[in-house]
Structure 1
């Protein structure tokens, strides 16, 4: 019989409490879900939360939008749907740039304790939001502001700046077997 693995005793870190930069990236499902779970936890602890979604359009009413509206957590769609299906990439780029302006303002204002930048890696990868300007805003944020960035293909410079990075890895997905997205699960 195998001996159980012993856990190391917990030692409370002695470092300063400060706003963290958290990145959820990778090809697996769950990046936005993890960010939304964190937003719920923060809201439940009385933190002021704001969520920006860089791909969803302003009138999106997916399950998360409905739940956050009931809880009074502001969530704003900044895009025009799924960018890779866009018929007007110039308009998609303009929306991303305008949205980044609003998100940047929220981050720097200090009004929020947690700002979620859902799907923000896409406008970074497409060059619609300059990476260095994005990183500079994250560096310049007030000390108490936590920021979560989600999306596939997070740039290395963002990963290097982050305090916590989680890579979601797909092992298997129902969609690959021909199962369509399920209401309340994928949207």
Structure 2
């Protein structure tokens, strides 16, 4: 390395350090104003993969912090999943897990049965959310139940607005989140589908899809 190259590299390093110092100062100033805490209504939606996976990541964070949490699965039925197996085997003392669905609607082919299952899941969800010992409650794939009108979106919204304890986080996953839900949510993430192996004939695999 020549002296000229060394000098140029040193100049670039100094400029980078100065730029990052300014960015840090600006970021620290912003962060100093963020002092409030509250239980969030969090929505994961969109056609892309990762909605439930991301939500379970937050459940596992709660478990890691020793914070009680709960999961209600609205659609998934008897199908085994890695998350459920891990939680029930090792963390059932701190995370309740309720699989209340009976599979996707095209599997049951019985609307009345689907409505009844969704209603039972919603009653369990309300019970868990009202229990202030639970720091987070995940309502996995509730958006699907809402999309097919198995549940009344107005009832769900009113409950989250008026009965959810102030410090309880509620996470709602599934495609096609209703506008009414998005409007009251504190955090909404839409997963965008760009590529999916299913289109290439690759089936769902353990550790990736379930």
- TM (normalized to structure 2)? 0.82
Determine helix, strand or coil for the equivalent of 1:56: coil
Structure 2 residue 44 is the aligned partner of structure 1 residue 21: no
Q: Distance in 1 between matches of 2:55 and 2:91?
A: 16
**Highest CA radius of gyration, 1 or 2?**
2
Q: CA deviation at 1:15?
A: 4.1
Alignment of 1:1-187 (within 5 A): 7=23, 9-10=27-28, 11-12=30-31, 13-57=33-77, 59-69=78-88, 70-72=90-92, 73-139=95-161, 140-187=163-210
Structure 2: give runs of 5+ residues left out of the alignment: 1-14
Which structure has the highest helix share of the two?
A: 2
Q: Distance in 2 between matches of 1:84 and 1:135?
A: 27
Q: Answer yes or no: is the 8 Å Cα contact 1:25–1:152 preserved in 2.
A: yes
After superposition, give the CA deviation of every residue in 1:98-123 in whole Å (9 maximum; x if it has no partner): 11011011112223110000100011
Q: CA deviation at 1:42?
A: 1.3
Q: Distance in 2 between matches of 1:111 and 1:132?
A: 26
- TM (normalized to structure 1)? 0.92
Aligned length: 184
Q: Answer yes or no: is the 8 Å Cα contact 1:24–1:168 preserved in 2.
A: yes
Q: Distance in 2 between matches of 1:83 and 1:118?
A: 15
Determine helix, strand or coil for the equivalent of 1:80: coil
Structure 1: give runs of 5+ residues left out of the alignment: none
Q: Distance in 1 between matches of 2:58 and 2:105?
A: 25
Coordinate RMSD, CA, aligned: 1.7
